[in-house]
Amino acid sequence: MTSAASPHLTGGSNPLLISGRVCAERAELTPRGEFVHGCAEALARALEELPNTVTRVDLDMGDVHFMDTAGLEFLDVLSDYGRQRSLTITTSNWNGQPLRILELAGLDTSDPLRSTTDQVAPATAAGSSVVFLERAERLHILQEEVEQLRQAIASRPVIDQARGILMATHGCTSDEAWHILRETSQLSNTKLREVAAAVTAGAETNGPPPPPELRTALQRALARRRG
């Protein structure tokens, strides 16, 4: 048996496939790909194909490489399925980014379904929604952290250039140049990357000088370091 999330739902990046087999009263499911929009629907279809004789469902998550809030919905579908049919359901081999999401969501990484069952009020949609929203908010925080890291990585070259310019122009060390840039950013209420870009642009032949407020903040930061 195989179930797949439609490419138009997942964006086609790495669509989820769920393969499985049934041995006596036990079903083994293996999701592969990403837990994004559409994954819960793929899971629901896979579960519908299981025979009524199944009393246990085990999922191997080792080939799941990425998940967002849709992955939490995936877990909710599993939990509801097991509760409605009084089945034993387990998930194992979580790793990488999906494991980090479970940690951020406050779930038991060895058995996230147990966490889901314990935290949701019995058979109340409202309780389930509250828990889901709380997890989604935690995931949103993680996504913001990841985006900030991406921006920092993208900003690194221009910041390094600006540090080099300050070191050559004012005879300061690399650490001193870094502190000057940070202090200029704080004094002018300007993002560090914008400060670095202005310093770098101003050092070019016929380059534009930094804006007045930025230039004043930079002079103050340099003066403090000299003092």
User: How many CA atoms are closer than 13 Å to the CA of 67, on its beta-carbon side?
Assistant: 31
Long-range contacts of 94-100 (CB under 8 A, 24+ apart): 94/61, 94/64, 95/61, 95/62, 96/65, 97/65, 97/66, 97/67, 98/35, 98/61, 98/64, 98/65, 98/66, 98/67, 98/71, 100/142
CATH class for the domain made up of 154-226? mainly alpha
Do 150 and 144 touch, CB atoms closer than 8 A? no
Say whether pTM exceeds 0.85: no
**pLDDT beyond 50 at 10:** no
DSSP string, 144-165: HHHHHHHHHHHHHHHHHHHHHH
pLDDT > 70 in the chain, percent: 77
Average pLDDT over the chain reads 81
Q: Which CATH number fits domain 2-119: 3.90.1150.10, 3.30.750.24, 3.40.1280.10, 3.40.50.20?
A: 3.30.750.24
Q: 33 has which bridge partners?
A: 64
What would the pLDDT profile of 138-174 be if each residue is shown by its tens digit?
Answer: 667 766 765 665 666 566 788 888 999 999 988 899 8
Please report how the helices 69-85 and 112-119 are oriented relative to each other, as an axis angle in degrees rounded to 10: 80
**pLDDT beyond 90 at 27:** yes
Domain borders along the chain are 2-119, 154-226
For residue 101, the model assigns a pLDDT of 80
Q: Count of residues for the chain? A: 227
**pLDDT beyond 80 at 222:** yes
**pLDDT beyond 50 at 6:** no
What would the pLDDT profile of 50-97 be if each residue is shown by its tens digit?
Answer: 999 999 999 999 999 888 778 888 998 999 999 999 999 999 999 988
Per the model's pLDDT, the better-predicted residue between 122 and 205 turns out to be: 205
